[in-house]
Amino acid sequence: MTDSIKKDEKEELKEIIQLFLKYDQAAWTSDVVKAARMLRDTVQGKKGIFTKPKVKQLAVSKLKRREVENLLNLEWTGADPELKAIHPVPMSAELCNVLRKVDNAACHSEASEALIRLTLNMLLVYAHDTVTSQISTTARPLSLQAERTWVYDVEKDLVWRRGATPSNVIAVEAKTKGRASEGIYQCLAYMGIVRNERKKRSHQTCAVYGFASDDEEFCFLKINDNSQWSECHLQVRTGDYSQVLGMLVHIFRQAAIASPLQSKEPSQYTHSRESTQHGRSKDSSRQSEPTIRESLEEDTFMGGI
């Protein structure tokens, strides 16, 4: 029916409906009531045209391995030779001193997400400094970012973040010690979404890296150009993060050289917390838990390069 209506007539009908909604109900005539009933019956009879069906929402942190793989067309490929061949980067005296101060300041405090983030941020900053001091002029610059919101919508088949192209390094931070492994599939879901978008944008490489950590256990992940994912686990018990630094430096370099300087947009590293909250927090500064809605996903990432 609507196909036979001309564009000008559609605009006219739209204006009439808008006027109708503003009409003083006290002055409704029988003809107005009749027209209102006809409009109601039409809308109710064709509800699917006027409203989108509700779909199930899934919290990213609740997704299982198979769900992530099926939703994002990923396949586990086992150990990746690239991740196994990373050489350690010695910790500078400055970094050792800073981490020692952090440890001394927090030694009598209960382990928390904030303290975990503090250590991770130090490692990220020093890895970033190592890479940017050696970066090639043909590579894209790495830049620090504040909180960012990502949205993925399968109906529109896109993912975006205001002001930047998709990241190719993602991190998930555990809320407490001993829970790093719980963030693996959450991180993998973020990475898969970003990887699909990089592929749509015809990046020379679609590889995406990531890790989940509680600052003692580091679960490094990679999705290659063929949608195959792999993992490498590192454990830090004595405060020696040289192997972790080596891995971070390597994946930051990969992020920088993933695409030559074809645009002014920086290569992104994004640091995310793992959330177990449900729904909106009363505090407007906090975000609700990320969800995938039958392939609609919205999440807030914190900090980054």
pLDDT digits (tens, 9 = 90+) for 172-229: 777 777 888 888 998 898 888 888 878 877 766 788 998 999 889 999 999 998 999 9
Q: Kindly report, residue by residue over 9-50, the tens digit of the pLDDT.
A: 777 777 777 777 777 777 777 777 787 788 777 766 655 555
Report d(CA 115, CA 113) in Å as an integer: 6
42 contacts: CB under 8 Å, gap ≥ 6 = none
Q: Are 246 and 211 a contacting pair, CB within 8 Å?
A: no
Structure tokens at 57: 């929402």
CA distances from 212 to 27, 150, 158, 215, 251 (A): 64, 18, 25, 9, 14
Q: Output the six-digit token pair for 85.
A: 């061949």
Tokens of 93: 């005296």
Crossing angle of helices 30-45 and 7-22, in 10° steps, is 120
Q: How many residues does the chain have?
A: 305
The tokens 């989108």 sit on which residue? Answer: 52
Residue range 134-168, pLDDT digits in tens? 765 445 556 545 444 444 444 433 333 444 455 67
Distances (CA, A) of 131 to 9, 204, 270: 61, 21, 16
